[in-house]
Structure 1
Amino acid sequence: MVNRFVLNGISYHGKGAIQEIPGIIQSKGLQKAFIASDPDLIRFGVTAKVTDLLDANHMAYEVYSDIKPNPTIENVKSGVAAYKASGADYMITIGGGSSMDTGKAIGIIINNPEFEDVRSLEGVAPTKNRTVFTIAVPTTAGTAAEATINYVITDVEKKRKFVCVDTNDIPDIAIVDPDMMSSMPKGLTASTGMDALTHAIEGYTTKAAWALADCLNLEAIRLIAKNLRSAVQNEDEGREGMALGQFVTGMAFSNVGLGIAHSMAHTLGAVYDTPHGVACAMMLPIVMEYNADCTGEKFKAIAEAMGVDTAGMDQETYRKAAIDAVRQLSADVGIPSKLEALKEEDLDFLAESAAADACAPGNPKDASVEDFKMLFRKLM
């Protein structure tokens, strides 16, 4: 069997990494940036950490901020129009998954205009051209969109999210600077961190998992378990550990896929606007219980990466220990375990949507629509 692995061309890591941006721009002979960043990051001065560098170096740019959590088809379409009107020749995405995903879709459509309806990008789209040159600067330690070939767009009209997988969309440069993440409030740090843990655990247990991805995902689990609580307290060491952990699993899960915790989280986000990381955190231990009997000895390694001493444990015990460790971390960082908005009358639509999600086939255990209903009910 042949396994493909797609990575960024270049990535920069560590405090102050954003200082590399002007030199990158100059070395590439780029003229004007289209900056995709959400309104809150602009309002709180986070985006300015990058634009101030551009100003200091007399570099032209235009900011696009028609971006919302769970970005929509309309956000993308208006962004494409704004990019065309801006005269930009490259893009800088600054933010979490929302800004990154919006920017990915814009960049792909600019160089592949036959996909301007946006919906046709769903799944593995047969694009021919690379996205516009993109420098990605994450401000959350969760989605790892700066390191992946994936993005997710919300179809408001159909009340669903769809996943796009495209090797042409991976940013050219990733700038992973924990200083850009220091302004995240506790709740966002917690939810994005649990999203990263979900990436790592699902990527480690997915049907497509293999040795290279497993090495990365196990290390990511270890980094996240060690550092998330500290990051929520805004401690420097925790921030740095989470910045690295989320990127490490991003490299891996981007190449091997995810599972039904993400399928269900996408559906909850589309129907109830549940923050993605919160939805992932609520679903992860429930899905781990469902998948346990199809994971061999992998839950032993997960438990140990989470800090559990598994000496003397039998299979049933270490599987439970892994799930309990995930639940405890989620509780410790303040993630709820129940979703009050969830209604019995929505279950048919939720289950059918989750079953149709692009992440579902990667789950180690196949799930029927009835299985999805059962799993959703555990949130009620």
Structure 2
Amino acid sequence: MTLITHLAPRKLLIGGGSLARLPALLTEFGLLRPLVVTDPWMVGSGTVDRVLAPLGAAGIAAKVFSETVPDPTDTVVAAGVTALREGQFDCLIGFGGGSPMDTAKAIAILAAASPGQRLRDFKVPASADHAALPVICVPTTAGTGSEATRFTIVTDTSSDEKMLIAGLGALPLAAVVDYELTFSVPPRVTADTGIDSLTHALEAYVSARANSFSDLYATAAMRLIAANLRRAYAVPDDAAARAAMMEGATLAGLAFSNSSVALVHGMSRPIGAHFHVPHGLSNAMLLPVVTAFGLQSGLARYAGAARIMGLAGTDAADDAAAQALLRELSALNRELGVPGPRDYGIDAARYEALLPLMAEQALASGSPGNNPRVPDASDIVALYREVYAG
């Protein structure tokens, strides 16, 4: 019998208005002195008060670290560790999109490190299983699923490498998943994070490390996201669509946390690191081309995904169903206005010059090895060129 290891936060509060229960959640775990990790926009816009107000009303005095940047860096994480050590905190609250949540996780991991250790010492294949303090996540976008995963991604500023860090130290203690926080998210972010969550679910489903538990999460996530992404993008105040996307994103996070991502994510991280493309957008740029690359090697699983998403009937042949999936992924990119690298403004010469390094970094992450068709460096370079050519 195959051994399955199942990992998930100890508690998830999911639903509209659930943020009001954050103080009770902290109290339940005996936590009273949180450091809220967020970004400057959340502070400047007053959005961080959505967290601070209920905590303050409950007599919980939180402090804020707001130096998070869109692509978390090792330098920002180090600054966060300094802020953590300056107070008597007993937990971290990651509030925002994937970047604040990933930053909070990385702060907890680095704060538990031995003297002289750096964040790069914890990148895969190392296992980051220790955290100085528990992390509670409160996502404000329906995309990364970081609130439910054992992963964090941080850029090494000395090499521009987006490091994948994995282990129990990155697994949140709990999360509050309140779709009402996503009503103000602009359409571009809704699209990019939505395709990000779809990529998580699809890659978890076709991954070589998929299992019966991850399949349950991935299947539920794909159904929700496929049925609601366009609606959430076109009608931002549709509560039902927003709720479905938020739930789908968390389910997708649980799926790939218990399986793995694959080639799309392996290739996406270097694009983000070198050209500062938002993670969900770089995934979207790659998804149709990379799916086509592995289609025949993972035909039955891709066809199954198409049926789950309602793109093909149960009696459709695998090849026809898989082709329907490819058409849908391309259609999503068109309808949601996803630009290719060239249209995004990435310089052709610099892109070409960095391809060998990007391929090396993609392979080093380990994610491409989970793909139905495992690429070598030359395959990845060719795929990068195909994506750029459009």
TM (normalized to structure 1)?
0.95
SS in 2 for 1:4: coil
Which structure 1 residue ranges, 4+ long, deviate > 6 Å from structure 2? Answer: none
Give the match for residue 379 of structure 1: 387
SS in 2 for 1:86: coil
Aligned residues: CA RMSD: 1.7
Give the match for residue 368 of structure 1: 376
Post-superposition offset of 1:40: 1.3
Q: Deviations over 1:169-197 (max 9, x none)?
A: 21111100001122211111110111101
Give the match for residue 271 of structure 2: 268
Query: 2:76 matched to 1:68?
Result: no
Query: 2:261 matched to 1:258?
Result: yes
SS in 1 for 2:86: helix
Whether the 8 Å CA contact 1:46–1:183 is kept in 2: the answer is no
Give the match for residue 319 of structure 1: 322
Give the match for residue 218 of structure 2: 217
Query: 2:24 matched to 1:26?
Result: no
Query: Which stretch of structure 1 is more off in the superposition, 181-190 or 311-320?
Result: 311-320
* Aligned residue runs from structure 1 range 73-222, under 5 A: 73-114=74-115, 116-127=117-128, 129-222=130-223
1:337–1:292: structure 2 CA closer, same or farther, 3 Å change rule?
Answer: same
Number of aligned residue pairs: give it.
380
Which 5+ residue runs of structure 1 have no aligned equivalent?
A: none
Give the match for residue 57 of structure 2: 56
Post-superposition offset of 1:219: 1.6
Q: Deviations over 1:97-126 (max 9, x none)?
A: 100111001112223345751111101544
Q: What is the one-letter code of the residue matched to 1:279? A: S
Whether the 8 Å CA contact 2:142–2:190 is kept in 1: the answer is yes
1:115–1:243: structure 2 CA closer, same or farther, 3 Å change rule?
Answer: farther
TM (normalized to structure 2)?
0.93
Query: Percent of aligned pairs with the same residue?
Result: 31
1:101–1:87: structure 2 CA closer, same or farther, 3 Å change rule?
Answer: same
Post-superposition offset of 1:360: 1.9
Post-superposition offset of 1:212: 1.8
Whether the 8 Å CA contact 1:142–1:246 is kept in 2: the answer is yes
Query: 2:293 matched to 1:285?
Result: no
Q: Distance in 1 between matches of 2:321 and 2:28?
A: 52
Whether the 8 Å CA contact 1:41–1:47 is kept in 2: the answer is yes
Query: Which stretch of structure 1 is more off in the superposition, 307-316 or 239-248?
Result: 307-316
Q: Distance in 1 between matches of 2:255 and 2:312?
A: 25
Q: Distance in 1 between matches of 2:128 and 2:198?
A: 30
Query: 2:352 matched to 1:349?
Result: no
Which 5+ residue runs of structure 2 have no aligned equivalent?
A: none
Q: Distance in 2 between matches of 1:311 and 1:248?
A: 23
Query: Which stretch of structure 1 is more off in the superposition, 276-285 or 354-363?
Result: 354-363
Q: What is the one-letter code of the residue matched to 2:367? A: C
SS in 2 for 1:24: helix
Q: Distance in 1 between matches of 2:130 and 2:283?
A: 32
Post-superposition offset of 1:359: 1.4
SS in 1 for 2:154: strand
Query: Which stretch of structure 1 is more off in the superposition, 361-370 or 295-304?
Result: 295-304
